[in-house]
């Protein structure tokens, strides 16, 4: 099966990424998880390491047992990079070429190596509809990034609109198709 890198960002939908990691692992994929600092406010790394039976990566400067430029090794080892949930912040960073944490540096390197990148937005409907966010999504789409569109739902803040993370089935289907 495939080697998948799952990037998890700081959204309330981060708990759904655990289901995605679990499903992919049960389907026989090797799933490496990179969590942003904000993602760790919603879900603990232990959740992902327990589900994937693999270490979780959280820090660009963490000590590693043997020498490796971590973001490059992770990018090279992945057949596909999936960002779920993808906040407006990570979408903006990637669209702007900003690589200031482990996930954004892995995505930059993976794109440079020609790896497939699947982005699964999750944010408030007003943020998702913001012209800047839309322009960033359009830019990344033109560059070959694939997007799994969010669903319309009642969001965590109580607003009704498009912005809820796509269903796990839709995301895992997109990953399988991209592999």
Residues 38-52: tens digit of each pLDDT: 999 999 999 999 999
Sequence spans of domains, the chain: 3-178
In angstroms, the CA 155 to CA 13 distance is 10
Structure tokens at 25: 């692992």
Distances (CA, A) of 47 to 5, 16, 103, 147, 158: 16, 11, 18, 25, 27
pTM tops 0.85, yes or no: yes
In angstroms, the CA 114 to CA 149 distance is 22
Residues 90-128: tens digit of each pLDDT: 999 999 999 999 999 999 999 999 999 999 999 999 999
Active site residues: 157
- pLDDT above 90 covers a percentage of the chain that reads 77
Give the 3-state secondary structure of residue 117. Answer: strand
The superfamily in CATH containing domain 3-178 is Flavin prenyltransferase-like (3.40.50.1950)
In angstroms, the CA 158 to CA 42 distance is 18
């Amino acid at each position: 099966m495939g080697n998948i890198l799952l990037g998890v960002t700081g959204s309330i939908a981060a708990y759904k990424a655990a289901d995605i990691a679990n499903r992919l692992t049960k389907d026989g994929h090797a799933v490496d998880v990179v969590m942003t600092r904000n993602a760790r406010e919603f879900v603990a790394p232990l959740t992902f390491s327990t589900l994937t039976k693999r270490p979780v990566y959280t820090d660009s400067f963490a000590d590693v047992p043997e020498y490796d430029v971590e973001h490059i090794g992770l990018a090279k080892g992945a057949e596909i990079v999936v960002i779920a949930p993808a906040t407006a912040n990570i979408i903006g960073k990637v669209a702007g070429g900003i690589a200031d944490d482990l996930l954004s540096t892995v995505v930059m390197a993976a794109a440079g190596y020609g790896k497939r990148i699947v982005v699964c937005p999750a944010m408030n409907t007003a943020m998702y509809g913001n012209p800047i966010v839309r322009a960033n999504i359009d830019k990344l789409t033109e560059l070959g990034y694939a997007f799994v569109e969010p669903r319309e739902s009642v969001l965590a803040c109580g607003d009704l609109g498009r912005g809820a993370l796509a269903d796990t089935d839709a995301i895992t289907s997109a990953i399988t198709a991209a592999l």
